[in-house]
Chain A
Amino acid sequence: MIGVILVTGGRSHQEGYGAGFQADARCKVIAVTDETGIDERRASLNRRLAEQLKVPYIADIGDALRRADVHAASICTEHQRQGRLSIRCAEAGKHLYVDKPLAGSLDEARRLERVVRDNKLRSQMFTQVTLPPARRAKRLLASGQVGELRAIHHDLLFAKAHPADLALEPRKESAAPAPDRFLVPDAKREMFNIAVYSLALFRWISGRKPFRSVFAHTANYFFEGSRARDMEDFGAMAVTLDGGISATAAAGRTGWRSHAGSGHHRIRLVGTRGSALVDAFAGRGEITAVGQPGWRVPETNPDDPMGFWASTDQKKTGSAEWYLPPPPLKSDQSFFLDCIERGVDAEVTVADGVRVLEVLFAAYRSAAEGRVVAL
């Protein structure tokens, strides 16, 4: 039995990760835990997740890490704490399941990579490569249908939150985003949080080809809160990988009405023999009928106005039904448990996460300076 601690709790993706670990019979969630000195809101959200999962809450992570029945840690904190806490867990010899992006600073991420390597730990960063669209894209490529990969394009746009008719103007980007300014309750750095999936996909599907350059652009198109807090709600980037492979990504939060499901999500593969499009929502059923009032979006939830977290349960409803694809056969957490069990590396490790983070920070520099940045 693999014992896992959950580092931080509610109003984070730990809500899903914790449930994923609990659903796997090979694993026991030992506790929710955190470092001491956190604020009361965070402590209360941590306790709430522990109650929901019916596990203890250990207020001092040091106590949790000393337990012999803890083999792995799932770390999903605010970005500015993520690197520090991941290093602490790795130094204690625990295998790591880490939220994306790895950390709020490259120095911490690189230090984490060293500790994981030196302690011979298994690690996995949460991404979307274990979800059906990515698996399908990789199968298509492996089949030889499109030939040798020359370009890959990825649109990942989350259809959540209520947009406004903002005046359009170019965004002034900062070359180095402050580590404590990636996420607040009503805004996120969306390129940081969403393009990370695209970059991880590019690295994974290309067989870990190194990134060579990035050109990026950030924008505030949709949300007043994001603009007021100087956090982009949209980012676009064009990267090159070794071997002359081109890749582009469009990432953002685009408003409830921009898609009837969870958002546009498409992967375009361009090869020497052909091209192919994988649309995450190609498999669907729709009902159109007399008397349909049209689909509805949720009212603004003041506790989670941007629809970040699953626990606030903000769903679209209405008679234009949108049947979502079935959930994957296996959760991302189960993929991680496989790696521990078999003693093999994950498909996206901490080291991969560091390479992705390098591109993300270079992308902000590119957007700030308006030029292509070499990696």
Chain B
Amino acid sequence: MKAYLDWIGRAVADKLNQDAIGKPVFARVFLRLSADHGTLEPLAAAAVRMAAEWLRATPTKVYAQGGARDGHVSAMVEMDRGQTAMVSVEALPGEPSAMLLILGQRGSFRFDDYPEPLPPSPLEAPAREADAIRRSLASKAAEVPR
């Protein structure tokens, strides 16, 4: 899974750096990569970090919903220059999929991918994002990454 995330992160960043859609302002990310509920939070944190990199921004506020019991984690993220990311990670059976929509000021970038089932691999969650998601799920409030 880590290799797939590394690839998608790089591939999308490369495309956005070609400046086809202008400055990216919004990212919607749907990931269904594993049915293992234990991957939900780390994967959501990794997706938040990835979206922030695509938006060339730093998260300033995270509001997370769902949780392992619900089979999904969704995070709405405000960035330092006002950009927005909405990340939804699902732990559900079925074919893996990754669906992205990134809006730029001059157009949009859409990427739908249906990867082969990914072998389980340890996923190191980015600490700031993982902590903010965890705190938001526990508090039901929007949390500032620290």
Contact = CB atoms under 8 A, between A and B. Distances in A.
A155 to B, nearest CB: 6
Interface stretch (A35-43, A203-211, A238-246): A238-246
B71 A215 contact: no
Interface stretch (B5-13, B46-54, B72-80): B72-80
**Would you call the interface of chain B mostly helix, strand, loop, or mixed?**
strand
Contact of A372 (B63, B81, B84): B63
A151 B88 contact: yes
Interface string A239-261: 01000101010101011011100
Contacts of A255: 105-107
B81 A170 contact: yes
B132 interface: no
B76 A169 contact: no
A277 B81 contact: no
A246 B72 CA distance: 10
B65 A246 contact: yes
A255 to B, nearest CB: 7
A185 interface: no
A220 B26 CA distance: 11
Interface residues of A, number: 47
Interface in B22-73: 22-23, 25-26, 28, 30, 32, 61, 63, 65-66, 70-72
B138 interface: no
Contacts of A273: 92-93
Contacts of B22: 163, 165
A165 B23 contact: yes
B81 A150 contact: no
B65 A270 contact: no
A371 interface: yes
B119 interface: no
A222 to B, nearest CB: 6
A371 B86 contact: no
A221 B107 CA distance: 12
A153 B74 contact: yes
B103 A221 contact: yes
A270 B72 contact: yes
Interface string B89-101: 0101110000101
B15 interface: no
